[in-house]
Amino acid sequence: MSATAALPESQGGRVWARFRRHRLALAGAFVVALLMASALFAPAFAPQDPTLLDTALRFRPPFAEWAHPLGTDELGRDTLSRLLYGGRVSLTVGLVAMVTTVATGALIGITAGFLGGWIDMLLMRFVDTMLCFPQVFLLLVVAAFVPPTLLSISLIIGLSSWMEVSRIVRAEILHLKEQDFVAAARALGASRRRIMFRELLPNAAAPILVAATLKVASAVLMESYISYLGYGVQPPLASWGNMLTNAQGYFDTVPWLAILPGAAITLTVMGFNFLGDGLRDALDPRLRMDP
Amino acid sequence: MIGFVAWRLLQAIPLLIGVSLIGFGLMQLAPGGPLAVYTLNPTIQVQDIERIKVIFGLDQPVYVQYVKWASGLFSGNWGYTFFGGRPVLDVILERVPATLLLMGSALSVAIVLGLSIGVLGAVKRYSVFDVLATTGALFALSFPTFWFGLMAIFVFAIQLRWLPSGGMWELGDEGNILALLEHLVLPTLVLALVITATWSRYSRSAFLEVMQQDFMRTARAKGVPPAARLLRHAFPNAAKPLIALLGVELPFLFSGALVTETIFGWPGMGRLFVDALNMKEYPVLMGMMMFTAIFVVLGNLLADIAIAAIDPRVRLR
Amino acid sequence: MTIRISRRGILAGSATLLAAPTVRAQSINRDRIILAMTQEPVQFNPLLYVNAGTENVPEACLFDALWDVNDKGDFIPNLAVQVPSRQNGGISADGLTWTVNLKRDVKWSDGQPFTAKDVEFTYQTIMNPAVAVRSRSGFDLIKVFRVKDDHTIEMELSRPFVPFLWAWQNMHIVPQHILGREQNIQTAAFNSQPIGTGPFTLRSRTAGSHMVYERNPNYHRGPAKVRQFIHKFVPDQMAAYGQARTGEVDYFALAGVPNDRWTEARAFPDRDFLRYPSPNVQFIYFNCGKPQFSDPRVRKALTMATQMQKSIDDIYFGTWPRTLSYLQPTHWAYNSDLRDYTNDPAGAEKLLDEAGWRKGPDGIRAKDGVQLKFTMSTTAGNVARQGCQALFQQNWKAIGVEMEIRNMPASVVWGEYTTQSRFDTLLVAWDPTVGLDPDYTARCHSKMIPVKHRQGSNYVQYENAEVDRLLELGVTQTEQADRIATYKQIQAILHEEVPFAAQGGSVQGHLKRKQLQGPTPNQYVTDITWNVYDWAWA
């Protein structure tokens, strides 16, 4: 598309056009879409039932035979099938938890940072209180009361790790709110809500997007930790996290059992990362591709 | 400023009380308890468990237990552990030096490294370095710490025999500082991996934002050299979210890192917490939560002061 | 003068530093022995112990009991001059009066003499309701405890109880002159600064890392052969195994070499691999109080369908012996006439049909509106047990039974979920209940059901009048031949009615340096340091 071609008229259209030019972002979006599709259509792609065990066939290496293209695990279950079905669990947890964390943290951070005063004090002391309880502790306690569905696990993980996001966003807002464009918006009579969400939020997008990427990875790994402790996904269901945990004893003899799920997580996180980069660049016209 | 600090410390009191109440409540509500550990002992019968329950004071109503514990707190008596009857304060404090050493080293290394990688990546966005650094950081975040720990032990301790595979001291030679440092290397590096990755991403993003702004272009036009541009112009503006991050991470200096400590057998707070959680050692759990609360208050207070110090436009309320 | 440090120099220097192997790790320090375990003892008062296996170490290093048991299963005297028996008059003819003569010239490590008063005090502490002693079993039968003189004690039991020997084997003697002064034994300083009569004294403890014991030169069985004994805690099993390989520790015991590394471990040139049987047997526990399991035929059918041997071969790599009762197959009272009827899904289906459990439209068997559907629980995070559960789940699915795995953290599943019989099934491993005596009253006598009688540990709620009668008989018989016959009968009934289905006896693989002499597997105790005073370097 030549630089002299006319830009689309709507803001949404302009954002999309900017996004499209960002190659890595497109690649990221593609990867994320691919992962979601494979999880959604797992039954179609999986060679066999992921819980079917046959110890005679265990520890087969990847690329050795057609029946098990990515090899088998310590109980003879097909790794590819487990990766696909496990993706359903891990991607759901990663996404829902990330959205919960980011939304909660951003909301609290923006409100506290912009409105200041008593609201800021109360909210920040609330954040302090939550920070006093180690994440593991919160997870274990709450998970014991809530029936362990995938959604509830994701929400619980999401609601136990937003504190860092809120503090970072608040710091960003404190910096932004003294700037001219905010004063201008106020002078124009914009409501507080409009200033918070139409003016400040897009400008604070950068750290929020970084947090989102990091939280996807940490949510997936946290899910495996609470499964290890007995909540969350129960065996023999697979998730990328618990595949990693089970591979712990074999890291030097059968390394691919850990490398494969880890690579899946890495791919997911990288996809989200570049997607986020593209989003940020598209939303903020001041950031150009060249430094 | 003094007023600000005093006001914040005043706020800390209801916070600590609230944390103790919520923590105690959550702990009691959570299923399981310290008696479960006795069941696996084959000589134990139910009547023994009942007897032990009374001795531990667990048959009393929850609020009675809380009041007993809380009133002891003010006189410096943080209670005795269920198993072993040791003073809780002793049990916690004896782990502090090891934790501070490990967490302090890891945080220092990680922040310096993370900042450098992040800044370099921001300055040369999408260069080979940046893409590699991004991939590396995300890779480091996608594998659990125990995996890196076990790999590190396998490669450096078992195969190459360069470094010891765990523990904190050379047994029988506890005064040897060089040995202590040798034991410190692997756990620090493994722990620093994740923190570095996090810091590199946040600092890259923070610096990217700042560098596109007009005042940076003005500085360049004025002929200010790049290093000075970074340090005196970019850094103070980019620092705020990073300082907030540091404030949030400060309590980790105290609470330690469970997985790393477990893999390397490092005698720190993280392990103490999880052992206490597994055995439902309530007195220790409560004690640690109170300590953490103090660090959290301190960490956020320092962060807020630092942010205001850097940017005069941000007013301390 | 300025010293120029060239970049090349630094690189060269660091390379050399990093390349030098830590020589310390390789060589043997003959002055001391380092034992590694994955768990840490939380306190050192032998009466309050919580963690079997790891707390046995301070117990054996610092204290003595009246008598021990060796690897052949014989009782050997320790603080007692001889083990009481009918032949030497230590036990009266009616089995009710026990007389024990104590060794003279035994001293506590603070110099005070050991006397019968210490034994009396130990007994009183065990019976003291304010002390969280792990068990009183056996001691609660003592009607009268007499101190005849400084070195003789006499005990009168309320009824004959042959396993009484095991009660004293398991309880180590504590000093009356120190603990007698304490208001509250639970919080006594003694618990972290112990004084005992044992082969070592505690020199230092670094929480979370290690404990250092120093030789007691006045030990009554002769001074130990090494000056220092170090107990090191390495929480991760793989890391501990690594340390045993590099030589950073001399002997890796608990939790043992991972099952799939045994072949590798056996091949190390300068290491010995010890196959360490423990008294532990792993079972599936069926809650007989639940409607699905009240019929013994159902329990037997379920057991018949499982592939027990395969689970041992595949998941435990064949390292465990298969057992069909609550005793390990090497135990003197084991019933070797029992036949293994597992791995027979056809027979299982037939038995279930006979018992009236027919397959419903969804493929799951049901009877009188109750489906054969249940959960199985064990400690979460135990990969091997999860593997067994996955296999059993598959075995049972094939015969129309649905099992759901529901694991929980240890502090939850072994709490009231087990002790108040709330579970459906459990996958659990236990030792026998009174030392290594075959008496199993606490676990299967009908008056020992916690939810009904508030005593005992019969969590499966099993009731059988004949088993009750045999259990009561077994503890009074003094001839071993008679006891063997009684317990064989008990095992046969349990094998038919299956309140708990035995899988295998657990075995650990320990790794030690070849030159370290002394550690000997002893299947009668959980204490790997049972003969630590004999350990030495060749």
Separate counts of helices (H) and strands (E) for chain C: 18, 20
Q: How far is CA C293 from CA B9, C22, C394, C440, in A?
A: 61, 59, 19, 21
Looking at residue B315, its pLDDT comes to 62
Q: Nearest Cα to A273, choosing from A82, A94, A21?
A: A94
CB contacts, 8 Å: B213 with chain A: 286
Looking at residue B5, its pLDDT comes to 84
Q: Nearest Cα to C407, choosing from A144, A86, A140, A234?
A: A234
Lowest-confidence pick of A57-61, A80-84, B170-174, B281-285: B170-174
Looking at residue B316, its pLDDT comes to 61
CB contacts, 8 Å: A224 with chain B: 144
pLDDT, average across residues A14-24 = 72
- Nearest CB to B248: which of A133, A164, A218? A164
Looking at residue A284, its pLDDT comes to 67
Instruction: Give C347→chain B minimum CA distance, Å.
Output: 34
pTM recorded for the entire structure: 0.84
Pairing of strands C32-37, C251-252: parallel
Instruction: Give A260→chain B minimum CA distance, Å.
Output: 11
pLDDT, average across residues C369-394 = 91
Chain A interface mutation, best of C311, C407, C411, C427, highest count of A Cβ atoms under 10 Å: C407
Q: For residue A289, is pLDDT > 50?
A: no
Sheet holding C500-513: strands in order across? C200-206, C210-215, C228-233, C32-37, C251-252, C500-513, C271-286, C425-430, C373-377, C402-405
Q: For residue A102, is pLDDT > 50?
A: yes
Chain B interface mutation, best of A31, A114, A125, A132, highest count of B Cβ atoms under 10 Å: A132
Residues C233/C210, Cβ–Cβ less than 8 Å: yes
- Nearest CB to A234: which of C314, C407, C409? C407
Q: Which residue of C has its CA nearest to A50?
A: C390
Residues A265/A95, Cβ–Cβ less than 8 Å: no
Query: What secondary structure, in 3-state letters, does chain B show?
Result: CHHHHHHHHHHHHHHHHHHHHHHHHHHHHCCCCCCHHHHCCCCCCHHHHHHHHHHCCCCCCHHHHHHHHHHHHHCCCCCECCCCCCEHHHHHHCCHHHHHHHHHHHHHHHHHHHHHHHHHHHHCCCCHHHHHHHHHHHHHHHCCHHHHHHHHHHHHHHHCCCCCCCCCCCCCCCCCHHHHHHHHHHHHHHHHHHHHHHHHHHHHHHHHHHHCCHHHHHHHHHCCCHHHHHHHHHHHHHHHHHHHHHHHHCCHHHHCCHHHHHHHCCCCHHHHHHHHHHHCCHHHHHHHHHHHHHHHHHHHHHHHHHHHHHCCCCCCC
HSE-up of A167 (CA within 13 Å, CB side)?
26
Q: What torsion do the CA atoms of C526, C532, C533, C535 make, to the nearest 10 degrees?
A: 140
Q: Nearest Cα to B49, choosing from C34, C419, C449?
A: C419
Judged by DSSP in three states, C455 sits in: coil
pLDDT-based confidence at C196, cuts 50/70/90?
very high
State whether residue C383 sits within 8 Å of chain A by CB. yes
Instruction: Give B238→chain A minimum CA distance, Å.
Output: 9
Looking at residue C9, its pLDDT comes to 40
Q: Nearest Cα to C291, choosing from C461, C457, C464, C102?
A: C461
State whether residue C310 sits within 8 Å of chain A by CB. yes
Phi, psi angles (nearest 5°) of residue C502:
-75, 140
State whether residue C29 sits within 8 Å of chain A by CB. no
Distance in angstroms (rounded) separating the CA atoms of residues C254 and C260: 16
The string of pLDDT tens digits covering residues C317-375 is 899 999 999 998 988 899 999 999 999 999 999 999 999 999 989 889 999 989 999 99
Amino acid at B298: L
Judged by DSSP in three states, A288 sits in: coil
Amino acid at A284: D
Chain A interface mutation, best of B205, B300, B307, highest count of A Cβ atoms under 10 Å: B205
Phi, psi angles (nearest 5°) of residue C475:
-80, -5
Alpha helices, DSSP H, located in C34-115:
56-62
Between CA C97 and CA C104, with CA C98 as vertex, the angle to 5 degrees is: 145
Lowest-confidence pick of A11-25, B50-64, C495-509: A11-25
State whether residue B157 sits within 8 Å of chain C by CB. yes
State whether residue C209 sits within 8 Å of chain A by CB. no
pLDDT, average across residues C80-102 = 90
pLDDT, average across residues C219-232 = 92
Instruction: Give B140→chain A minimum CA distance, Å.
Output: 9
pLDDT, average across residues A46-53 = 83
Residues C458/C445, Cβ–Cβ less than 8 Å: yes
Judging by beta carbons within 10 Å of its beta carbon (0-12, 13-18, 19+), is residue A5 exposed, middle or buried? exposed
Residues B40/C127, Cβ–Cβ less than 8 Å: no
CB contacts, 8 Å: C260 with chain A: 249-250, 253
Q: How far is CA C50 from CA A116, B83, B275, C66, C265, in A?
A: 53, 7, 14, 21, 31
Looking at residue A6, its pLDDT comes to 57
- Tell me chain C's radius of gyration from C-alpha atoms: 26
Between CA A33 and CA A40, with CA A38 as vertex, the angle to 5 degrees is: 90
The string of pLDDT tens digits covering residues C171-189 is 899 999 999 888 888 888 8
The string of pLDDT tens digits covering residues B113-130 is 999 999 888 888 888 898
The string of pLDDT tens digits covering residues A157-166 is 899 889 989 9
Distance in angstroms (rounded) separating the CA atoms of residues A164 and B30: 25
Looking at residue C99, its pLDDT comes to 93
Looking at residue C19, its pLDDT comes to 37
Q: Do A229 and C381 touch (CB under 8 A)?
A: yes
pLDDT, average across residues C455-471 = 93
Share of chain C above pLDDT 70, in %: 95
Distance in angstroms (rounded) separating the CA atoms of residues C377 and C412: 11
- Nearest CB to C450: which of B46, B86, B167? B46
State whether residue C407 sits within 8 Å of chain A by CB. yes
Element (H, E) at C329: none
Higher-confidence residue of C516 and C187: namely: C516
The string of pLDDT tens digits covering residues A214-254 is 888 888 888 877 777 766 777 778 888 888 888 877 877 88
Q: Which two tokens stand for residue B221?
A: 């036009």
Share of chain A above pLDDT 70, in %: 90
Which ranges of chain B have pLDDT less than 70? 312-317
HSE-up of C319 (CA within 13 Å, CB side)?
24
The string of pLDDT tens digits covering residues C32-57 is 999 999 988 888 888 887 777 888 89
pLDDT-based confidence at C18, cuts 50/70/90?
very low
The interface predicted TM-score (ipTM) is 0.81
User: Which of the listed ranges A6-15, C312-321, C490-499 does the model predict with the highest average pLDDT?
Assistant: C490-499
CB contacts, 8 Å: A139 with chain C: none
Looking at residue C26, its pLDDT comes to 59
Q: Do A234 and C390 touch (CB under 8 A)?
A: no
End-to-end C-alpha distance for chain B, whole angstroms: 9
State whether residue C115 sits within 8 Å of chain A by CB. no
Looking at residue C371, its pLDDT comes to 92
Residues C514/C272, Cβ–Cβ less than 8 Å: yes
Q: Which residue of C has its CA nearest to A243?
A: C383
Looking at residue A200, its pLDDT comes to 80
State whether residue C382 sits within 8 Å of chain A by CB. no
Q: For residue C515, is pLDDT > 60?
A: yes
Looking at residue A10, its pLDDT comes to 67
Q: What torsion do the CA atoms of C469, C474, C478, C483 make, to the nearest 10 degrees?
A: 120
Element (H, E) at C368: none
Distance in angstroms (rounded) separating the CA atoms of residues B287 and B89: 7
